Amino acid sequence: MNKKTIKLTVAGFVVATGLSVGVLANDISPFSTTKVEAATNNFKGFKDVKSTHWAYSNILWGVSKGILNGYPDGTFKPNSEVTEAEFMKMLIATFAKDEITTSKGKNWADPFYDYAKKKNYPFTGVRNKAITRTKVAEIVSASQGVNYVGDNAIRYMLGKGLSNGKTSQTVQGYEGSAKLTRAEAITFILNLKNKGVSDLKEKPTQPSDPSKLPNVPDKPEKPSQGLVLTPQKVVDSALPTLKENGFTNVRGTKDSMQVYDKNGDQVSFENLGYITIFASKDDNKALKSVIGLAKAAGFTVNDEFISNIKNAKMGFGLKAKVNGYTAYFSKGNNGNSIDITIFMDYPEK
């Protein structure tokens, strides 16, 4: 098989558990390079979380905010499971710290469960068992003033951009039965912050109307059949998404396809001995379009993928894995574009 490079250009969140939850300091954008670097300078890091870890910047954010700490042995244990009590503490202490009162003699989790009961949140009360991702969806959606359970709570999370799923942006891909990890927990908290959430609402007593939920599929439209890297095929498949985001003018050859908007900005997919997915501008419409191209090519777009896109920096970028292949997520040489490079063997051109 010929060696080919797949390059994608695209435009990054996690809460730890079992650790102290502190009071939030002044708001720091997790994607502000200067402030994140400042936090990094004062942080020696964790032995088990390298700078290439998909949640590295998210963990730095959580540490800098006092939401979490590491373990005494210098580890963070990003894949360790989170209990219901731990997640409740993270969520409530982050967004409603001024409403929490403590008293001597109480279990550390009591004030958070008291608050959750007052707000009608759907906790189980089983404090020391790992919480499932479905229960997280029910609690988080309840904190946003809606009353959904099970798959509908998952649809709310995916449709509102509070999760991108574990393997796909579908109910099945969310993997609700899986146990929540520390890295995922901080990601849920940061996603809420990034959506502008500043306080927690009360859950209605009556179920919310399912017809008002965003249209989220139950499972991927078709089973993965490998990667499709022919530029024309990829662009044709992604074109509805591209048009929704203003990219309508298609140009190119069999090896290189570009789609322009009315301002001359472009997204593109090329196969020139390497594969490039590129956006000349780093904004929300470009991001959605590049993700559309990535999905059309068959790449798995999940929480880690999105986080890597957002945490990418200029130049060669952030090293990661995509579909098992070594990848580099970048903001381009000027810091204003979206760029991912994936190294792999693939025969199609």
**Residues 261-287: tens digit of each pLDDT:** 999 999 998 876 667 788 999 999 999
> pLDDT class for 135, splitting at 50, 70, 90?
very high
Same domain for 136 and 41: yes
What pLDDT does residue 238 have?
92
Q: Which long-range contacts (CB under 8 A, 24 or more apart) does 263-270 make?
A: 267/242, 267/293, 269/231, 269/234, 269/235, 269/238, 269/293, 269/297, 270/7, 270/231
To the nearest whole number, what is the mean pLDDT of the chain? 80
Give the model confidence (pLDDT) of 141-186 as tens digits. Answer: 999 999 999 999 999 999 998 998 887 788 988 999 999 998 899 9
Same domain for 191 and 83: yes
What pLDDT does residue 105 have?
65
User: Does the residue 27 lie in any domain?
Assistant: no
pLDDT of residue 208 exceeding 90, the answer is yes
The domain boundary, picked from 212, 230, 265, lies at: 212
Range of the domain at 317: 3-10+222-345
Same domain for 203 and 61: yes
- φ, ψ dihedrals at 138, nearest 5°: -65, -40
User: Does the residue 72 lie in any domain?
Assistant: yes
Q: Do the Cβ atoms of 325 and 1 come closer than 8 Å? A: no
Query: What value does the CA radius of gyration of the chain take, rounded to a whole number of Å?
Result: 21
> pLDDT class for 313, splitting at 50, 70, 90?
confident
Give the model confidence (pLDDT) of 285-299 as tens digits. Answer: 999 999 999 999 998
User: Does the residue 138 lie in any domain?
Assistant: yes
Q: Do the Cβ atoms of 311 and 317 come closer than 8 Å? A: no
User: Does the residue 284 lie in any domain?
Assistant: yes
- Total domain count, the chain: 2
Give the model confidence (pLDDT) of 16-50 as tens digits. Answer: 333 333 322 222 222 222 333 334 444 567 888 88
Same domain for 340 and 260: yes
> pLDDT class for 323, splitting at 50, 70, 90?
confident
Instruction: Using alpha carbons only, give the angle 106, 142, 135 rounded to the nearest 5 degrees.
Output: 75
User: Does the residue 56 lie in any domain?
Assistant: yes
Mean of pLDDT values over 197-220: 91
CA dihedral 251, 253, 255, 258 (to 10 degrees): -10
Same domain for 100 and 180: yes
Q: Do the Cβ atoms of 228 and 253 come closer than 8 Å? A: no
Of 343, 334, 288, 296, the C-alpha closest to 312 is 334
Instruction: Using alpha carbons only, give the angle 12, 17, 21 rounded to the nearest 5 degrees.
Output: 90
With a CB cutoff of 8 Å and minimum separation 6, the contacts of 167 are 173, 175, 300, 302
Burial label for 96, CB within 10 Å (0-12, 13-18, 19+), is: middle
pLDDT of residue 336 exceeding 50, the answer is yes
Same domain for 341 and 242: yes
User: Does the residue 21 lie in any domain?
Assistant: no
Same domain for 181 and 97: yes
**Better pLDDT: 258 or 349:** 258
Of 301, 286, 273, the C-alpha closest to 246 is 286
SS3 274: strand
pTM of the predicted protein model: 0.59
Which helix (H) or strand (E) segment holds residue 276: the answer is strand 274-279
> pLDDT class for 344, splitting at 50, 70, 90?
low
What's the DSSP call for residue 261?
-
User: Does the residue 18 lie in any domain?
Assistant: no
Same domain for 85 and 134: yes
User: Does the residue 17 lie in any domain?
Assistant: no
Same domain for 339 and 199: no
With a CB cutoff of 8 Å and minimum separation 6, the contacts of 147 are 203, 204, 205, 206, 207, 208
Burial label for 328, CB within 10 Å (0-12, 13-18, 19+), is: buried
72-76, 146-150, 200-204: segment of lowest average pLDDT: 72-76
Same domain for 254 and 173: no
Mean of pLDDT values over 53-76: 82
